[in-house]
Chains A and B, each alone.
Chain A
Amino acid sequence: MTTQPKEIGAPEAVPLVPEEAGIALARPGVRPFAIGAAVLAAALVPLLFKSFVTFQLTLVMVYALAILGLNLLTGFNGQFSLGHSAFYGIGAYTTAILMDRWDIPYFWTLPAAGGVCFLFGFLFGLPALRLQGLYLALATFALAIAMPQILKFGPLESLTGGVQGIVILKPDPPFGLPIDADQWLYYFTLAVLLVMFAAASNLVRSRTGRAIMAIRDHPIAAAAMGINTALYKSLTFGVSALYTGVAGALGAIAIQFVAPDSFTFLLSVSLLVGLVVGGVGSIPGCLVGGLFVLFVPNLSEAVSTGLAGAIYGVILLLVIFVMPSGAAGFARLAAVHLARFNQARNRFSDGRKK
């Protein structure tokens, strides 16, 4: 028996949900109901909590969106990237430059940021076609290292503001709505998030999505079945960059500031951690990832300032030990066990009736 060489860019396929788990988790009617309840709860948050919490949750959604972008590439297409901080940065800078230099309204900058990032991602995806696994990781890593340096680069300073970066203004709520700017930005981000999550979940269930996943699971077999692997891989790179770029744009509006050193390699690492904690190849998992990326570093800072890094590391290790395939894998496993338990109980009570 030959063992397949493990490549870092090819995460093992998500185990198929057994029939019994399907019964418990995705009973027709349950899922839309659960999503509806979650959206309702999310809509109530800014009315119930302080504006700082609202601001933090806005950032959670921004990170979730960025992680979703990475997930489309890594989780569904099996390409590995350490360069998503660069796409995030490009998105943020596109928005900041459009708002600051050309006074374009913030909502128009999102499609622009997405478009620019799609183009960059697609073009970067072309040479990346030749590379796999760790070699692809190095190429994307080069992108992550290059981005802050390019943003600081002298001749571009009139556009990017150099080391100082660009300060932008927080948009006011439209139509004289009786909410403050933080609350409005929260709702705006929530709306964008919902649209983009829905689009992503439709994408992965479509014919295109199946092609993308087939390439992840077995590139050669996928090509043999007539899938244009080169085109789909580059397109996935573009769409992934688009998602992360829009997240960057929203992040820039929320923080009201962009500077080169916010978009370093460390941001890529954070996104990667969020991806794994949430669950590789799971769309709702990205939200868990966003929560982790924002709150756990703060939490460890609160426990002990001197040892914050060590506490963060220990929490991360515990998460990996308890849930090796992320929150999504954990939920799937829990659903399977619950279904088995229910089945056993039903069988037992059926037996008693007879």
Chain B
Amino acid sequence: MELLLQQVMAGLATGGIYACMALAVVMIYQAIDHLNFAQGEMAMFSTFIAWQILQWGQPYWVAFAAAVVLSFLGGIAIERVLFRPIHNAPILSSLVAFIALFSILNSLAGFIWDFNIKPFPTPFGNKPLLGALIGTHQAGMIAVTLGMLGLLYLFFRGTRLGLAMRAAAANPESARLVGIRVGWMTALGWGMAASIGAVAGMLIAPVVFLEPNMMLGVLLYGFAGAVLGGLTSPGGAVLGGFAVGVIENLAGSFIPYVGRELKLTIALVLIVAVLMVRPSGIFGRRVVSRV
């Protein structure tokens, strides 16, 4: 029983990382209808920017704020320069453009800041909490993720801009007819996703250490979490992220023999099994198209 509790808590702690990323993934999916394969690398790049500002001797929160703002502008710039011109291209072509962006950011980060792993500070400290079941950083990370989720909910439900962004994503043509600047709403979605990614990156970096390849695994589990929870539901994505972490941990310790070596595979197979029953994710809306 104690082992179970320990493993669930450890799973929640790793799940917090995936949940952060899943939230960023779903945000951009809402805005542009694509999964952004370069999301993890954008987050990694933002984290490096924060690290650089810290190296220049600025306090943590200055670096944090600067990274969030710069990422917001960077996200908008990427949309305007790279993705605006090809927004009518076939969907697989935009996917490949994401892969290209991934490759560019990864290589640039390695070129500027090299591939050695670097420690990244945490604002929450690293003391054990709840009888050593979870660290303060993990708890802080989970709290920040849930906080961002709440803020996003308020933004999309409660502000004019949020409403406009939802309209632009749901029905671009009608949105344009009522005077919403759909192109800028998409760019804004990119900016917000980049900012959320930056926060996620800065929370994840103390755990996995900072290096250009740090986000690859995290992003993939973030995707898995987002898809499991349902791509149309930010709350579902966060829950999905936590679920992936917990399932991965439990499979590793409770399925004898096979578990440890194949825990990742088992987790993914379980997710696919869930999708068999709920093909649009657990909390996802079924998209119905008119024939």
Contacts and interface: CB of A to CB of B under 8 A. Distances in A.
Interface of A: 1-8, 10-12, 74, 127, 130-132, 134-135, 137-139, 141-142, 145-146, 149-150, 152-154, 220-221, 265, 269, 272-273, 275-277, 280, 306-314, 316-317, 320-321, 324-326
Contacts of B102: 313
Contact of B96 (A74, A141, A320): A320
Give the one of A8, A10, A141, A310 with max B CB within 10 A. Answer: A310
A149 B265 contact: yes
Contacts of B56: none
A137 B103 CA distance: 20
Contacts of B223: 138, 141
Given A309-B107, A310-B103, A150 B90 contact: no
B86 A313 contact: no
B272 A2 contact: no
Contacts of B104: 309-310, 313-314, 317
Interface in B270-291: 271-272, 275-276, 279-281, 287, 289-291
Given A8-B34, A141-B268, A142-B271, 9 more contacts: A4-B289, A11-B90, A131-B279, A269-B99, A280-B92, A307-B107, A313-B104, A317-B104, A320-B96
A325 B93 contact: yes
A134 B100 contact: no
Nearest to B106: A309
Contacts of A141: 220, 223-224, 268
Given A3-B173, A6-B91, A8-B35, A142 B268 contact: yes
Given A11-B92, A149-B264, A309-B103, A317 B275 contact: no
Contacts of A314: 100, 104
B269 A146 contact: yes
A286 to B, nearest CB: 14
Interface of B: 33-35, 82, 85-86, 88-93, 95-97, 99-104, 106-108, 110-111, 171-173, 220, 223-224, 227, 231, 261-262, 264-265, 268-269, 271-272, 275-276, 279-281, 287, 289-291
A311 B100 CA distance: 9
A315 B262 CA distance: 37
Contact of B82 (A12, A152, A310, A317): A317
B111 A310 contact: yes
A313 B103 contact: yes
A135 B171 contact: no
A5 B108 CA distance: 35
B96 A142 contact: no
Contacts of B291: 220-221
Contacts of B173: 1, 3
A312 B99 CA distance: 10
Give the one of B34, B104, B108 with max A CB within 10 A. Answer: B104
Contacts of B90: 11-12, 280, 324-325
A237 B106 CA distance: 33
A324 B271 CA distance: 34
11 contacts: A8-B91, A11-B91, A139-B272, A142-B269, A145-B264, A150-B265, A153-B262, A272-B96, A313-B107, A316-B97, A320-B97
Contact of B100 (A139, A152, A316): A316
Contacts of B289: 2, 4-5
Nearest to A306: B111
Give the one of A265, A275, A309 with max B CB within 10 A. Answer: A309
B96 A138 contact: no
Contact of B271 (A138, A152, A325): A138
B108 A307 contact: yes
Contact of A309 (B110, B224, B290): B110
A326 B92 CA distance: 10
B99 A132 contact: no
Give the one of B223, B271, B279 with max A CB within 10 A. Answer: B279
A320 B93 CA distance: 6
B257 to A, nearest CB: 9
Contacts of A138: 223-224, 227, 271-272, 275
B176 to A, nearest CB: 12
A316 B99 contact: yes
B275 A131 contact: yes
A265 B268 CA distance: 14
A265 B262 CA distance: 16
Contact of A273 (B85, B99, B264, B287): B99
A273 B97 CA distance: 9
Contacts of A4: 289
B261 A153 contact: yes
A276 B93 contact: yes
A280 B92 CA distance: 8
A349 B241 CA distance: 68
A318 to B, nearest CB: 9
B35 A142 contact: no
Contacts of A8: 34-35, 91-92, 95
A139 B171 CA distance: 29
B265 to A, nearest CB: 4
Contacts of A134: 35, 227, 231
Nearest to B29: A134
Contact of B89 (A1, A131, A320): A320
Contact of B107 (A74, A142, A308): A308
B97 A127 contact: no
Contacts of A12: 90-91
B227 to A, nearest CB: 4
Contacts of B91: 6-8, 10-12
Given A134-B227, A146-B265, A127 B276 contact: yes
B94 to A, nearest CB: 8
Nearest to B263: A149
A132 B291 CA distance: 17
